[in-house]
Structure 1
Amino acid sequence: MISNAQIHFNDSGTPVADNFDDVYFSNDDGLAESNYVFFEQNELQTRLTNHPRKHFVIAETGFGTGLNFLNTWARFKQAESLAAERLYFMSFEKYPIKLDDLKLALKAWPGLTSLSEQLCEQYPLALQGCHRLEFEQGRVILDLWFGDVQDSMPQIAYQSKGIVDAWYLDGFAPSKNPDMWQQSLFDSMAHLSQKDATFATFTAAGFVRRGLQSAGFECKKVKGYGRKREMVVGKLNTTTEQATTPLYYQQNQAELSNVAIIGGGIASSCLQYHLAKRGIKTKLFCEDAAHAQGASHNLQGAVYPNLQSEFGIPSEFYAHSFLYARRFYDQLLNAGYHFDHQWCGVLLQSINDSKKTQHSKVSQSKIFPKQLIKAVDQNEAQEIANIDTPYGGLFIELGGWVSPPELTKAVFNAAQDLQASQCHFNTHVEKLDKKEDGWYLTTNEGQFGPFSDVFICAGEHSDRFEQTKDIGIHGVRGQVSHINEGDASSKLATVLCHKGYFTPSHNGLHCMGATFEKHSKSREVTEQDNITNREQLAGFYQGTDFDKSLGSIESAKAAVRCCFNDHTPMIGQVQDKHDLLQAYENIKRGKFYDFKAQNLPHEGLHVVTGFGARGLCTAPLVTEHLVASLTQEPLPFSERVHEALHPARLVIRDMIRNKI
């Protein structure tokens, strides 16, 4: 569980951490100190101008009030002729400041007001793990890792090289915070660093300098800021070439160019957006006449995470995906892109003993902040829902519903405004072929190509190609019924989730459902499913005024949830099962070394599918993670989530378990 920092402000107006009895920044001029110690001593003005990559990565130990980030962001905005087009700022914080305290602390810097207001607007809840915050349409990225830095650093996923170009070795003084200033920290810094990565720190403590030298950094003392006589700066003189990501979970990639996307749902639009904000052009191929005709076509879709009582891979994945999605959708709305929605919360109803036990375990785990999910009794549930409901449960205040078709189109429009792309609707892709100069698509409209990369976001049809036939996807058909509101039901003020879900009325209709038919890819609407949906709702709410007030079923829509056996999406380069078995056959012998060279017959071909019923919650961050991995940028998901999403995972797990 993450605890917020307890602070007070001293006579100079400087915030002081009660747990460490130390100031967050200098009483004299914290902004000038930040600029001198970290920005100038890492020589960032020159390095940003001459950087060999399109993105520059800074990592910081101790986010505090965010002053170092805000100063760096401001200087980045002011710089001209930059070689680095995108700034990544990774920061670790064990005790995040409360939002109200943050706002008060940052009032001391009126010159940063515009940037600090944007930071406060997106400032995340106190939940462990990585929170990706994006500014200036993705030109500036802040990855806030909440938790002990010693625990967080080993969770960072990257490929075969380090990712950090410069370190801000900050935090409270070594004498005040000895748990952080350990050799393990310095070793992790070296492990995460790019060749010639630099560091700067305000302290000149001998054990810090010796620890950094032991980790591989060249160190020297320079003049400290203000009354401080000395500080230490340096550069890494060796790099660790060993990857933290296992070989079979790495993402091999040449530069993305002339990219094709197959599919027209929320995942394809999000993928287009994340590529567009990096200046990468795409061509969209959709077999329907418009966007969102498949699983993204419902009138209303609930947006909420699937949380468990333990902070395992599913909870980490869904919680951070949901919080990112909310920030992403709000930014779209603030930028003027419209889609019908209502952030009215989602009420998970404890409809039986099993649900009561499950909900009780989640609420008692104390993993999640109450602003994310909290227990409510029957009276509280009725007050939230504004109708008579016989159950208590869990309330997700930040959840709600959106119009999936309108959202899909809004994300696509935002992508188009960043980087115009060509769209081919009513175009059925019949087969994919890889030639020497790239990938070619054979369609009913002719052949297109070559493409450096092809992304298959085709929902239940993602396995129809020769290269993807073995990915293991299966369909779960679901039908949602649209029922006319009544006087009592029209007052419903939140999304209800029981065995299915029931939305507040929109244009006079509630969405009610959905059915669950395994191993089916049919989209046929049936009257029997309408009956099933109505009977299910009545079974839980029979006798309530809102249930009795409901009118007749007006219409319905059926779609297919795309799933894998582990209920996790699949994103990344299509794997060849035979090749995996050959390259990593030692795994079956219990040996995780001496692997053979892996051939990549499908290099440049990627799948983005398997979102189940939660694409609205997970697609924005999943697609951002994929694009970041392909462009060798810092990844928003931890190493364990990265592995859980990778297309090789199912085969590797079966090899480990000796099932194949």
Structure 2
Amino acid sequence: MTPNPATSSTGRAFHWRERDSFVLLDSEFGSGEHFFAAWQAWRDDPQRPLQLHYLALLPQLATLHNLQQAAARFPEWQAMYAELCSAWPPAVPGFHRIFLQHEQLVLTLMIGDGAACLRQIVAKVDVFRMLGPSWQTWPVAALGTLGKLAAQHATLDICGLEAAARKQLQQAGFVFENDVDNRLESDTDLTISCARFAPRFTARSVAAIIHDDRRAIVIGAGLAGSAACQRLVQRGWSVDLIESHAAPAQQASGNSAGIFMPVLSRDDNPGSRLSRSAYLFALQAWRRLGGIGTAFTGASCGVLQIARDTEHAEGQQQLADFWRYPADYAQWLNQAAASRLASHPVSDGGWYFPAAGWVQPRSLCQAMLDDCSNRLQTHFGKHAALLDRGQDSWTVRDRHGVEIANAPVVILANACDALHFPQAEDLPLDAIRGQITTIEVGQVPAIAPVLCGEAYLTPASEGLCSVGASYDEDQQQTLRQDSQDDNLARLANILPGWQAGALPLAGRVGFRCVASDRLPLVGALPDKTGACAVREAKLKDLPRFPGLYSLLGYASRGLIWAPLAAELLVSQLNGEPSPIEADLAAAIDPARFLLKKQRRNTPPHQ
């Protein structure tokens, strides 16, 4: 019989009842049996917490077959198994957030080395379950991390505990009760040890700001702002959306088609890891919204990314041999296979992303805003010009000083227009011109997947294909022939034998908001005038404007950045576990530039 996770494995009642949120960390997800049992117990408890976060460590992703075997033994789990399978991610490393039960149950799978993943968790954990052998392979020092993650009155159930590990946990603040002779079915020789978190001393740290008054103002109704509104409303916030145009998605998000796909690299650098998390999270978010091609315009037709040249193709082949990505995530195809897939000769081999594709951003923005119900108040045609900070709230005013909205939280999602506010004027953001060329069907090869490389080509929609996009350093807002010629020449390079011929000047100009390091700015804005009491400051030590946040710098990847960035920010606002690793959240923290500047200007110790 599987233990009922409404109690611990020792029979102690979990203290989740009548809580708004509860966080459980499981070191041994295995085939999901403990997770299904926890889900069942949570669902059956009339006094369950409003939201249950289940954080699960696992060295590699369980297969759907293993999940099915676990669920098959319990008929009452079949519906849960089906819901989980529909959201199960590809078997790639990293953190994967899965929403279940109308987003009241949040499963975060953390795939990779357990000790390394543990150090990347940002959460306050109420219950630790260490009931398998995996944790015993960790360095003993890694157990000290549990104390940093523990919420007040957290409890710990652990088996296979030896003296060195017990001492480490005691030093981390855990007080052990008498060991319980409660044998696990799979490990009949292991005894469960129980502890509660009761540290003798509490380390001084910067407390996370959690907003009890859940009212926010979002400035900007493009992809960034629309996603923020949708995620905030889903978490019970009331939102005022301010947009200077008469409708959403009128600037960079107004293009007829945008591509969504991940970025690959041999060293799996932070940019690649972030793009992988953002891409997979976006796919899940869009399914919950109603689906591509149903709730909004677009298609999951796949994306074929062609190598630049022979040398680049050889490097990508080596990358494919090294990482061996699962086929549902990424496949390397040689030139012949890529040409067959494209239904036209292509210049070289390429990566095929079968779940990727294209989306019309404006329709996606509208779908996200439509999902917000009456908790969203829109202010279209209003220009946010001034930010005034009161005692505990912000007032947004127009150019004439007239109040548009007031709330404790303001989120800047208005791209480079954010630089007009003094609080954000030092952010290293630039507007990069991008011109897209539109071509009528029949003047370009009919392709099934999106084709990209040095340029991109989308399948036809409403009789038109999109080609682009230029990267220009000027600020001209009208179409230019040289930008169109460049788009078509780059496309011709990856489609041997095709020539554009004489085409009318047609398309659209937009301006990407790009940070100096090409990563987004997600989180609390730094206050450069504020005092920092720590000489060698870290990100958490830097002063911030209270209640002022940014979702900026999405560059050419707003489609995939928007859902994950909004989820990360809302998790920070609500004090919930982070959906991504701590080092990745730090890589997109808006204060990273101020920290680098301070470190450059700080003299070394004498």
| Count of residues paired in the alignment | 598
Following superposition of structure 1 onto structure 2, how do residues 321-400 of structure 1 map, counting pairs within 5 Å?
Answer: 321-333=278-290, 338-353=295-310, 355-366=312-323, 368-400=325-357
Q: Quick check: 2:261–2:279 contact (8 Å CA) kept in 1?
A: yes
Structure 1 residues 389, 239: closer, same or farther in 2, change over 3 A?
A: farther
Identity of aligned residues (%): 23
Report the CA distance between 1:305 and its aligned residue: 1.5
Q: State the distance in 2 between where 1:274 and 1:344 align.
A: 26
1:75 maps to 2:31 = no
Structure 1: unaligned runs, 5 residues or longer: 1-28
Following superposition of structure 1 onto structure 2, how do residues 13-162 of structure 1 map, counting pairs within 5 Å?
Answer: 29=1, 32-33=2-3, 35=5, 38=8, 41-44=11-14, 47-51=15-19, 54-82=20-48, 84-157=49-122
**TM-score, with normalisation over the residues of structure 2?**
0.91
Report the CA distance between 1:91 and its aligned residue: 0.6
Report the CA distance between 1:207 and its aligned residue: 6.9
1:425 maps to 2:393 = no
Structure 1 residues 291, 204: closer, same or farther in 2, change over 3 A?
A: same
Report the CA distance between 1:526 and its aligned residue: 2.8
Structure 1 residues 535, 239: closer, same or farther in 2, change over 3 A?
A: farther
Identify the residue that residue 170 of structure 1 maps to in structure 2.
131
Identify the residue that residue 496 of structure 1 maps to in structure 2.
451
Q: State the distance in 2 between where 1:533 and 1:507 align.
A: 21
Q: Deviations over 1:372-397 (max 9, x none)?
A: 22221011101221222232121222
Structure 1 residues 165, 110: closer, same or farther in 2, change over 3 A?
A: same
2:118 maps to amino acid:
M
1:275 maps to 2:236 = no
Identify the residue that residue 494 of structure 2 maps to in structure 1.
540
Identify the residue that residue 11 of structure 1 maps to in structure 2.
none
1:195 maps to 2:146 = no
Q: State the distance in 1 between where 2:200 and 2:57 align.
A: 22
Identify the residue that residue 24 of structure 1 maps to in structure 2.
none
Structure 1 residues 447, 187: closer, same or farther in 2, change over 3 A?
A: same
Q: State the distance in 2 between where 1:622 and 1:357 align.
A: 34
Identify the residue that residue 526 of structure 1 maps to in structure 2.
480
Identify the residue that residue 259 of structure 2 maps to in structure 1.
302
Report the CA distance between 1:264 and its aligned residue: 0.6
Structure 1 residues 530, 168: closer, same or farther in 2, change over 3 A?
A: same
Q: Quick check: 1:38–1:201 contact (8 Å CA) kept in 2?
A: no
Q: Deviations over 1:213-270 (max 9, x none)?
A: 45423222335258869533221121775589xx6xx864543432111101111111
Report the CA distance between 1:554 and its aligned residue: 7.5
Q: Quick check: 1:190–1:217 contact (8 Å CA) kept in 2?
A: no
Q: Deviations over 1:396-444 (max 9, x none)?
A: 222111111111111111222xx52110101111211112242111126
Identify the residue that residue 246 of structure 2 maps to in structure 1.
289
3-state SS, counterpart of residue 117 of structure 2: helix
1:458 maps to 2:409 = no
Structure 1 residues 344, 377: closer, same or farther in 2, change over 3 A?
A: same
Structure 2: unaligned runs, 5 residues or longer: none
Q: State the distance in 2 between where 1:537 and 1:659 align.
A: 48
Q: Quick check: 2:217–2:406 contact (8 Å CA) kept in 1?
A: no
Q: Quick check: 1:485–1:551 contact (8 Å CA) kept in 2?
A: no
Identify the residue that residue 183 of structure 1 maps to in structure 2.
140
Q: State the distance in 2 between where 1:156 and 1:38 align.
A: 22
Counterpart among 527, 549, 560 of residue 606 in structure 1: 549
CA RMSD of aligned residues (A): 3.0
Q: Quick check: 2:292–2:300 contact (8 Å CA) kept in 1?
A: no
3-state SS, counterpart of residue 603 of structure 1: strand
Identify the residue that residue 440 of structure 2 maps to in structure 1.
484
Report the CA distance between 1:631 and its aligned residue: 1.5
1:531 maps to amino acid:
D
Q: Quick check: 1:460–1:521 contact (8 Å CA) kept in 2?
A: no
1:570 maps to amino acid:
L
Identify the residue that residue 470 of structure 1 maps to in structure 2.
426
**TM-score, with normalisation over the residues of structure 1?**
0.84
Q: Deviations over 1:490-527 (max 9, x none)?
A: 2x111111212111111221110101113x45533334
Report the CA distance between 1:188 and its aligned residue: 2.3
Identify the residue that residue 363 of structure 2 maps to in structure 1.
406
Q: Quick check: 2:223–2:558 contact (8 Å CA) kept in 1?
A: yes
